[in-house]
Structure 1
C-alpha cells in the first residue's frame, strides 16, 4: 500500500487549516491581552479620576462655605454703614461720660473725707 495522493492532500489541507486556526488563536490571544491591559489601565485612570473628583467636590464645598461666610460679613458691613453715627452723637456721649466720671470722683472724694 502506497501513500495516496488524496491522503497527502488531505493531510496537507488539514495541516494548513490547523496552522490557520493556530494563527487565528494567537491573534485572538494577543488582542485579548491588549484588551486586558487597556482595561487595567482604564480602571486605574478611572480610580484616579474618582479620587480627583472627590477632592474637587470637597474644595467646592469649602469654597461655598467661605462664600456664604463672606456674604454674611458683607451684610454686616452694609448694615453697619447704614447705622451712621454723627459727630454730635459722639460729642454728647463723651460729655455724658465725662460728667459721670466727675460725679464718681466727687463721690469718692466724699467717701475719703
Structure 2
C-alpha cells in the first residue's frame, strides 16, 4: 500500500503543476490577445493616415502642376487645356 500512496502523491503534485501551467498559459494567452487587439487598432489608424497622406499628396501635386512648376509643365498644360474645355462647354450650355 505504501507504493500506491506514493503514486497518488506524485500524481497530485503533477496535477498541481499542470493546473499552475494552465493558469500561466491562459494569462499569457490573454496578454497576447490584448496585444493583437492593440496592434490591429494601430494598423487601422496607420491605414487611415496613409490614405489621408496620399490624398494630401495628390492635392499638392495638382496644386503644384497648376502653379506651373518646371517639373510638371506637361501636366500643367494638360490641366489648363482640360479646364478651358470645361469652361467652353459651360459657355456653350449657357448660350443655348
Shared fold per TM-score greater than 0.5: yes
User: Normalised by the size of structure 1, how large is the TM-score?
Assistant: 0.59
CA deviations 1:9-29 (Å, max 9, x no partner) are xx1100100010011111111
Aligned structure 1 segments of 4 or more residues deviating by more than 2 angstroms: none
The structure with the larger Rg is 1
Equivalent residue in structure 1 for 2:57, among 52, 55, 67 = 67
Could you say what the CA RMSD is over the residues aligned between the two structures, in angstroms?
1.3
> May I ask how many residue pairs the two structures share in their alignment?
70
Task: Note the residue ranges of structure 2 that are not aligned, 5 or more in a row.
Answer: 74-96
The residue aligned with 1:32 is: 22
Between the two structures, name the one with larger relative contact order (CA 8 Å, sep ≥ 6). Answer: 2
Cα separation, 2, equivalents of 1:15 and 1:69? 81
The residue aligned with 2:35 is: 45
User: Normalised by the size of structure 2, how large is the TM-score?
Assistant: 0.70
Q: Deviation at 1:77?
A: 1.0
Say yes or no: does 1:20 pair with 2:7. Answer: no
Task: Note the residue ranges of structure 1 that are not aligned, 5 or more in a row.
Answer: 1-10, 83-113
